[in-house]
Amino acid sequence: MVWAERHRGRLAALAIAAVVIAVGVPLWWKTTETYRAWLPVAQINELAQLQLQLSVEVEVVFSKGTLTAEHQKKIPPSNTRQEEHVVDETTRLRYRYETRYRTATIMEEDALNQSTAAEADISLHMLSESPSGSVVIYVVPESSTVLPEGVSVYVGQRRTALLRAGGQMRVAVALKEVLASLETWIKQVLQVMSFSHGDITAALSDRVRPGDRSREGLADSMRAFKSSPGYEITFSLLNPDPTSHLLHWDVEAAISSYIQPLLSKMAPVANFSIDSQILYYAVLGVNPRYDPTLNAYTLNADSLSHVINPVEARLGSSAASSNPVLNFLLYVPDSRHSPLHITDHRRHTVPSNAFSSPRWGGIMVYNVNASGTELPVDVHIDMRRVMGVFLPQLRLMLGVQSAAPPPGFLIGPCGNAGLADWELDRLMWTRSVENVATATTTITSLAQLLDQIGNIVINDNIAEQVSSAVASLQLAVGQLEVGNLGLAMQYSKEAILQSERAFFDPSLLHLLYFPDDQKFAIYIPLFLPMCVPILLSLLKMASEVRQRPGQGQAKKD
Amino acid sequence: MGTAGVSASCINMASCSSLKILTLLSLFLSPTIVETNNIEAKAGQFFSSGHTNNWAVLVCTSRFWFNYRHVANTLSVYRSVKRLGIPDSHIVLMLADDMACNHRNPKPATVFSHKNMELNVYGDDVEVDYRGYEVTVENFLRVLTGRLPPSTPRSKRLLSDDRSNILIYLTGHGGNGFLKFQDSEEISNVELADAFEQMWTKRRYNELLFIIDTCQGASMYERFYSPNIMALASSQVGEDSLSHQPDLAIGVHLMDRYTFYLLEFLEDIHPSSTTNMKDLFKVCPKSQCVSTPGHRTDLFLRDPGSVLITDFFGSVRKVEITTDTINLTAPMVHLEDTRPVRELRTEIQTYMDQLPVAEIIHQKPKQKDWHPPDGFILGLWTLILLVFFKTYGIKHLKHIF
């Protein structure tokens, strides 16, 4: 029967269409989909709006003679001051200074009665230890002799400062006026010892592309290395003339005595690995000129930029990691070009005889007096002088800024480690903010990238790393809010490591770009021959169903 | 102020002569003032480009002996870049084939860029980072984006930071919107633009100079959308880049025209020259190159006239004189030799069998992968089947299928 066959045909076509739509399409969708693990997108978008709060604990200690007895009784125990800054539409900063006031204890009074500020500083340290990130200011009366003439503030080795009470404090009657006049000085002290708004905005340069910055600001930002979990430092001795000079340098002892204390103190900020080498017959690429007035050879500052490249080709590097490398070169000129002096732009000789290149390292020229009848002459290099030049260069490269202090300030010597505690705090503030800024941009740009390009596979380990980076970031921001600088630094380092590992994971390579016309070209020969009979039979059935009521009526007639 | 005071008192003739002397003196003084201003301006220029280091990624994408000119192109740019100061540690050189030691090279260990073998660009200290089959689209994109496996050595990585100027040079066979790698795969201009955008989001470059010497090269820079990129190409869309000259002894074309004139231009540059990018755009006009070189500067923030050639091709370092020193007073602590005395080894050591000859000789033949039958064989079967059915009729078809 034709009708039965036709009916069977219709059922078959419907069944095939049903299977194709119900089973085939989901199967095709599932098998051609890329595996994308779940990412905490909501939290990442939250991080895109960065609102940082930095809390500094300040303790102000009044010694005898600075406050009247009346004022001493009415002193408020604490005071909080907040400053809000909007950097751009996604970044806001809030600085919170929690100040506590108290009077000095008897032991502190004794310590403050020392003859010089440096001694007072040392004795004060023996009394108490302040946590990282905090600042203690001792206010001494105007008549006190501990501060030299003309100096209002002395910044010590640790986290303390000695502030001379100004004349205004004597004149002011109300406690409020006294505290207000003290505030201006305290603000200045905090800008030197803790952080200034300029430092923090410079640290945020990863998020906020600086528009017009002053030339000094730009030079500062280009000089120091960006925050990195580790650095490799190489000390090299260049001896172009081994036949005349036989050089001995006790670099291991010098490093362990002078450089290692600094690096151990900076251990919370980064890891360091040091090595040293001696290069023979390594020449500078520039010929020095003989200057008869100085009776010496000179290298002018303009030609110094061409010195580094020929030397760098010779410097090997045993670095097995991708950390930035700092090179410190000690060049002993050959006997034909001795002595060799470096002159600056105004043709004056430079006393340190050294120069540095931003983000690369430093070079020092060490002149030896090779007066001896027997060649080669034994030369023992004075490592103290050499390290006295390399150490400040190292400090500059690592970001320990030594900006000129405001007038009336006296900065104390930095101690055995070559780094004062408050300098380390300063560095930790800027580095943790920098780390947080970099980690947030990395995570948000990774999320944006994965969103934009739908073909990238997101494995589980990447999702895990992103989640842990987000968690570390939130912890770091929380610790900065509370003011625990050490923990904030640690969490920010973890956040950076994890976010970089997630961003640079080798499996995230988007390789296959399919423009839409190519996608059609691939799928049409596969699906069209199959879909055409199904569609045509469905259409035929639909037209028959529409015709049947008409036919039924005709038949009835 | 001094001259004003003098002019006020210049009433009689005698003091007027002293005024004349004073004006003469001030005329002598002003050049020195101008000179110090110049020195300050030069110092300012040190920081105007905003970069502290230079990197170069030089890629040759074609293999086979007849593509000798592409390897010569890349090696000549490598040579100029090294001569102008970029060290090997900052150059990633990718050559898809080895021409110097190719068995068809009549002068082994040389790659010439000029006929009559005038200039050997291979030299003594070429450091190729990616060679042969390692030059793939995937590796190239991995180098650019930094997504390399952790075991990759430093020399194979592009360790640039936000203050690096990068020069990227590509050469090979290309078409409208793609560049062919190794005769088997291609990179499209969209992928390249995406890779640059990923570099920008991670701040892996300060400024980027992109030079491409292929047919229809301008199509490769059409899709860039990241800031601070300047691009040059040897030909427009629809044009072919032509090669320069063959050498009859070697038997192949030695260089492409654009890179040949680029090399000539670069030979005149030395590390302290002040030639700027506008001169680079004029290299190889249509009369010499036959194709029309193009450039794209709309994404670049600075004016090309203020960009020095050495900002990208050379590596001029900024320097600062060290003014602070620290007076170290603590004496040096001499380290005791705390390393343990190494005990002498007493075990007998033997080398492992590095060449197991017996295994190699008696090796079983390797299982070859199954390939579907060749076109010729398929055609033969089809012919046989057709003949069979023609002879015996189509009704036997249903017994076969």
Most confident range (mean pLDDT) of A65-74, A129-138, A206-215 is A129-138
pLDDT for res A390: 93
**Would you call B215 a catalytic residue per the annotation?**
yes
| Burial class (CB within 10 angstroms; exposed 0-12, middle 13-18, buried 19+) of A250 | middle
Which of chain A's residues have a Cβ under 8 Å away from the Cβ of B52? 222, 357-360
CB B228 within 8 A of CB B196: no
B35 has pLDDT over 80: no
Q: With a CB-CB cutoff of 8 Å, which residues 172-231 of chain B face chain A?
A: 188, 190-191, 194, 198, 201-203
> How many beta-carbon contacts under 8 Å exist across A and B?
161
Query: B198-213: per-residue pLDDT in tens?
Result: 899 888 999 999 999 9
A357 has pLDDT over 70: yes
Q: Which of B24, B31, B104 is nearest to B63 (CA)?
A: B104
Task: State mean pLDDT over B276-284.
Answer: 91
CA distance, residue A324 to nearest chain B CA (Å): 9
Give CA–CA dist B292/B62, Å, rounded.
Answer: 23
Q: What is the ipTM of this complex?
A: 0.80
B370 has pLDDT over 80: no
Note whether B52 contacts A: Cβ–Cβ < 8 A.
Answer: yes
- A 10 A CB-CB count for B344 gives 5
Burial state string for B52-61 with b = 16 or more CB within 10 A and e = fewer than 16: bbbbbbbbbb
Query: B284-311: per-residue pLDDT in tens?
Result: 888 888 899 999 999 998 899 999 999 9
| Burial class (CB within 10 angstroms; exposed 0-12, middle 13-18, buried 19+) of B282 | exposed
Which of chain A's residues have a Cβ under 8 Å away from the Cβ of B192? none
B339 has pLDDT over 90: no
CB A233 within 8 A of CB A328: yes
Q: For residue B303, give both structure tokens.
A: 């004016």
Which of A51-65, A213-227, A449-463 shows the lowest mean pLDDT across its residues? A213-227
Report CB contact under 8 Å: B328, A358: no
Query: B148-195: per-residue pLDDT in tens?
Result: 998 898 889 999 988 899 999 999 999 999 999 998 899 999 889 989
Report CB contact under 8 Å: A322, B154: yes
CA distance, residue A510 to nearest chain B CA (Å): 8
Note whether B327 contacts A: Cβ–Cβ < 8 A.
Answer: yes
Query: A252-301: per-residue pLDDT in tens?
Result: 999 998 899 899 999 999 999 999 999 999 888 788 888 888 888 998 88
Give CA–CA dist B362/B367, Å, rounded.
Answer: 15
Report CB contact under 8 Å: B50, A222: yes
Q: For residue B122, give both structure tokens.
A: 């291979």
CA closest to A359 among chain B residues: B52
Report CB contact under 8 Å: A389, B147: no
- Top pLDDT among B335 and B193 is at B193
Question: Please, which residues have CB within 8 angstroms of residue B97's CB and are 6 or more apart in sequence?
Answer: B60, B62, B63, B64, B67, B71, B132
Q: With a CB-CB cutoff of 8 Å, which residues 55-94 of chain A face chain B?
A: none
CA closest to A440 among chain B residues: B202
Task: State mean pLDDT over A517-542.
Answer: 84
Whole-Å CA distances, A427 to A186, A212, A396: 20, 24, 11
Shortest CB distance from A383 goes to which of B198, B202, B332?
Answer: B332
Catalytic one among B215, B244, B253, B284?
B215
Question: Please, which residues have CB within 8 angstroms of residue A390's CB and are 6 or more apart in sequence?
Answer: A235, A259, A328, A362, A364
Query: A2-44: per-residue pLDDT in tens?
Result: 888 888 888 888 898 899 889 988 998 888 787 888 888 888 8
Note whether A518 contacts B: Cβ–Cβ < 8 A.
Answer: no
B7 has pLDDT over 70: no
Task: State mean pLDDT over A481-499.
Answer: 91
Query: A292-333: per-residue pLDDT in tens?
Result: 888 889 988 888 888 888 888 788 776 778 888 899 999 999
Task: State mean pLDDT over B268-293.
Answer: 89
pLDDT for res B45: 47
pLDDT for res B343: 66
CA closest to A285 among chain B residues: B85
pLDDT for res B17: 55
Q: Which of B237, B119, B228, B115 is nearest to B168 (CA)?
A: B228
Note whether B87 contacts A: Cβ–Cβ < 8 A.
Answer: yes
**Would you call B51 a catalytic residue per the annotation?**
no
Query: B119-153: per-residue pLDDT in tens?
Result: 888 988 899 999 999 999 999 999 999 999 988 98
| Residue entry with tokens 């003989």 | A290
Residue from B90, B196, B273, B317 whose CB has the most chain A CBs within 10 Å, to mutate: B317
B270 has pLDDT over 60: yes
Share of chain A above pLDDT 90, in %: 17
Model confidence band, residue A211 (pLDDT cutoffs 50, 70, 90): low
Give CA–CA dist A288/A291, Å, rounded.
Answer: 9
Report CB contact under 8 Å: A506, B148: yes
Share of chain B above pLDDT 90, in %: 42
Q: In what order do the strands lie in the sheet with B185-188?
A: B174-175, B178-181, B185-188
Shortest CB distance from A322 goes to which of B142, B147, B159?
Answer: B159
pLDDT for res B61: 95
Most confident range (mean pLDDT) of A33-47, A161-175, A240-254, A398-412 is A240-254
Note whether A226 contacts B: Cβ–Cβ < 8 A.
Answer: yes
